[in-house]
């Protein structure tokens, strides 16, 4: 991954050093992005869709106020890379039931056994009781390999040293884990077989016997864009719920592995970034791209643009007359995300602010109180139903009491928020009316 990070960090530094982005530099930057991605083994069609999107958006969209064109170009690169990696969401790593059975499959040497231990440590740190079952009867030493790892991470272990019966081990192993009230059972399987067909058949048999809550395919990222084909082969035999990409640290092809797996429709949950047991990360496209682009100081820029865009979207909704409490909820989220209220109050149009804010903007303590109030409002909105958010008019006294209780505030607090909503609504109607009047005056 290092070469990829270096290449992108250099590119970003170069863009930032430009005076401004003219046609020739835009072309050059796009070509460089292509080169970097192709070198990372990203397939040509994915590369082209990334650079096309950047180019089109750069030509079509205007940078938000206060953002230079080169900053905007970096931002588009950031956004389109995230999109190619599956978007901004982070995978859900919660264990949804107890015990939860997680089965690992993958070809020989992909990193299953190491990964089993990494996952065990990861969830033990989250206070779960974790058990490891070794069903690999082919690789010499597989039993000892996982047993030792289990001891290292303090997980329960079940295996049978001389058995040749994977399904028997599995049955007894599950039984052992149930009796020991384990929360998460991780089943390691064999990768070494006479041929691929045999491997897949055994994976299927173990799947049918274990009835796992999740099948996680372990793929070695060093195979680059071929990862998708591997995932698809496995999917023909066993439903794959998630993917663990290993050896991200030791390959220049990480980009290809990631994008191809994502394009195949499989969900990447974790990545392995080293041989050590702690070298595991939840796959978070945003964080990943930030690292690629050598962010740090770029983060402020990205946050700034995102906040401005969000505000713009909310304003558009409001202008379309779609004001409801959901709009206000979104608005509060974007405000709270931005941090200190005093700073961002300057960013917002005064008409968007609750009356009581405008006068107090300069007074620090009052600003703190206002921030507290916003937080309170956020809790209140959280304890409303979707219906209430969309149709605030239905909120009567008994609903107010329920909402207040759920949010841990007083009914008066809820009423305060509802008053603010009514006030905004009146203001918007007034603005609309006066616009119409103005429209008639100028003969629109
Ligand atoms: N650099 C690096 N090495 C890894 C990572 N994950 C696993 N490995 C190494 O990959 C090699 C194979 O790992 P195993 O866990 O034994 O792979 P396996 O899939 O269980 O192999 P079989 O049981 O033969 O199918 C070991 O040397 C691991 O240390 C990773 O994220 N980064
Ligand atoms: Mg193994």
Orientation of helix 44-60 relative to helix 69-84, angle to 10°: 140
- Which position has the token pair 């998460």? 184
Percentage of the chain surpassing pLDDT 70?
A: 89
For the domain 298-441, what is the CATH superfamily, name and number?
A: Signal recognition particle, SRP54 subunit, M-domain (1.10.260.30)
Q: Which of 270, 292, 413, 423 is nearest to 353 (CA)?
A: 423
Give the ligand 1 atom nearest the CA of 106. Answer: 19
Burial (Cβ within 10 Å: 0-12, 13-18, ≥19) of residue 221? buried
> Ligand 1 pocket test: which of 114, 254, 257 has the largest number of ligand atoms within 8 Å of its C-beta?
114
- Which position has the token pair 């864009």? 225
Listed by start position, the domains of the chain span 2-84, 100-284, 298-441
Contact 409, 304 (CB under 8 A): no
- Relative to beta strand 268-272, strand 280-282 is antiparallel
- Residue 52: predicted pLDDT: 98
- Which position has the token pair 């389109």? 80
Q: Which of 145, 229, 126 is nearest to 188 (CA)?
A: 145
- Residue 333: pLDDT band (50, 70, 90) is confident
CA of 120 to the centre of ligand 2 (A): 15
**Tokens at 291, concatenated:** 């690292």
- Residue 195: predicted pLDDT: 83
Residue 131 has pLDDT above 90, yes or no: yes
Least confident piece of the model among 84-93, 288-297, 328-337: 328-337
CATH code of domain 100-284: 3.40.50.300
Residue 358 has pLDDT above 70, yes or no: no
Measured CA to CA, the distance from residue 58 to residue 76 in angstroms comes to: 7
Residue 347 has pLDDT above 50, yes or no: no
> Greater confidence, 424 or 344?
424
| Ligand 1 contacts CB of residue 193 (under 6 A) | no
Percentage of the chain surpassing pLDDT 90?
A: 63
CATH code of domain 2-84: 1.20.120.140
Peptide bond into 99 cis (omega under 30): yes
**101-126 pLDDT, tens per residue?**
999 999 999 999 999 999 999 999 88
Residue 354 has pLDDT above 70, yes or no: no
- Give the best-scoring range by mean pLDDT among 289-303, 311-325, 406-420: 406-420
- Residue 373: pLDDT band (50, 70, 90) is confident
- Residue 357: pLDDT band (50, 70, 90) is low
Mean pLDDT of the chain: 88
Measured CA to CA, the distance from residue 438 to residue 12 in angstroms comes to: 46
pTM of the model: 0.74
Q: Which of 142, 414, 297 is nearest to 422 (CA)?
A: 414
Residue 342 has pLDDT above 50, yes or no: no
> Greater confidence, 264 or 352?
264
**34-52 pLDDT, tens per residue?**
999 999 999 999 999 999 9
Domains 2-84 and 100-284 share a fold: no
| Ligand 1 contacts CB of residue 189 (under 6 A) | no
**147-172 pLDDT, tens per residue?**
999 999 999 999 999 999 999 999 99
Contact 49, 42 (CB under 8 A): no
Tally the C-alpha atoms within 13 A of residue 388's C-alpha that lie toward its C-beta. Answer: 17
| Ligand 1 contacts CB of residue 281 (under 6 A) | no
Least confident piece of the model among 291-300, 357-366, 397-406: 357-366
At a CB cut-off of 8 Å and minimum separation 6, what does 283 contact? 90, 91, 245, 268, 269, 270, 271
Measured CA to CA, the distance from residue 327 to residue 315 in angstroms comes to: 9
Ligand showing the shortest atom-to-Cα distance for residue 272: 1
CA of 131 to the centre of ligand 1 (A): 20
Orientation of helix 69-84 relative to helix 23-39, angle to 10°: 30
| Ligand 1 contacts CB of residue 136 (under 6 A) | yes
Residue 345 has pLDDT above 80, yes or no: no
- Across 290-295, average pLDDT: 83
| Ligand 1 contacts CB of residue 110 (under 6 A) | yes
- Across 415-433, average pLDDT: 83
- Residue 222: predicted pLDDT: 96
| Ligand 1 contacts CB of residue 139 (under 6 A) | yes
């Amino acid at each position: 991954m290092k070469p990829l990070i270096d290449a992108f960090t250099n590119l970003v530094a170069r863009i930032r050093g430009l005076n401004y982005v003219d046609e020739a530099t835009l072309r050059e930057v796009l070509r460089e992005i292509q080169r970097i991605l192709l070198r990372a083994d990203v397939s040509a069609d994915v590369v082209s869709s990334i650079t096309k999107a950047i180019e089109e958006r750069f030509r079509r969209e205007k940078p938000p106020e206060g953002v230079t064109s080169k900053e905007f170009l970096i931002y588009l690169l950031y956004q389109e890379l995230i999109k190619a990696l599956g978007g901004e969401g982070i995978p859900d790593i919660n264990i949804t039931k107890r015990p939860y059975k997680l089965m690992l499959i993958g070809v020989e040497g992909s990193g299953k056994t190491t990964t089993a231990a990494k996952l065990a440590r990861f969830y033990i740190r989250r206070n779960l009781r974790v058990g490891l079952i070794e069903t690999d009867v082919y690789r010499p030493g597989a039993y000892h390999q996982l047993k030792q790892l289990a001891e290292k991470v303090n997980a329960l272990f079940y295996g049978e040293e001389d058995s040749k019966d994977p399904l028997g081990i599995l049955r007894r192993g599950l039984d052992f884990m149930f009796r020991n009230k384990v929360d998460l059972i991780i089943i390691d399987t064999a990768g070494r077989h006479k041929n691929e067909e045999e491997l897949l058949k055994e994976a299927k048999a173990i799947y049918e016997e274990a009835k796992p809550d999740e099948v996680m395919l372990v793929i070695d990222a060093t195979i680059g864009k071929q990862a998708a084909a591997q995932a698809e082969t496995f999917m023909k035999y066993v439903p794959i719920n998630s993917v663990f990409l290993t050896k991200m640290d030791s390959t220049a092809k990480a980009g290809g592995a990631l994008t191809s797996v994502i394009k195949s429709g499989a969900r990447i949950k974790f990545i392995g970034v080293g041989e050590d047991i702690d070298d595991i990360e939840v796959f978070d496209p945003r964080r990943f791209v930030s690292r690629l682009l050598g962010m740090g100081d770029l983060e402020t820029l990205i946050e700034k643009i995102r906040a401005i865009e969000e505000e713009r979207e909310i304003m558009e909704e409001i202008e379309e007359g779609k004001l409801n409490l959901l709009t206000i909820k979104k608005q509060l989220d974007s405000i709270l995300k931005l941090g200190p209220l005093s700073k961002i109050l300057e960013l917002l149009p005064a008409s968007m602010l609750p009356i009581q804010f405008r006068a107090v903007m300069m007074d620090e303590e009052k600003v703190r109180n206002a921030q507290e109030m916003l937080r309170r409002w956020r809790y209140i909105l959280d304890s409303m139903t979707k219906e209430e958010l969309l149709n605030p008019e239905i909120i009567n006294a008994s609903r107010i009491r329920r909402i207040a209780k759920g949010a841990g505030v007083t009914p008066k607090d809820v009423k305060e928020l509802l008053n603010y909503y009514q006030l905004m609504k009146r203001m918007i109607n007034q603005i609309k009316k006066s616009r119409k009047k103005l429209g008639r005056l100028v003969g629109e």
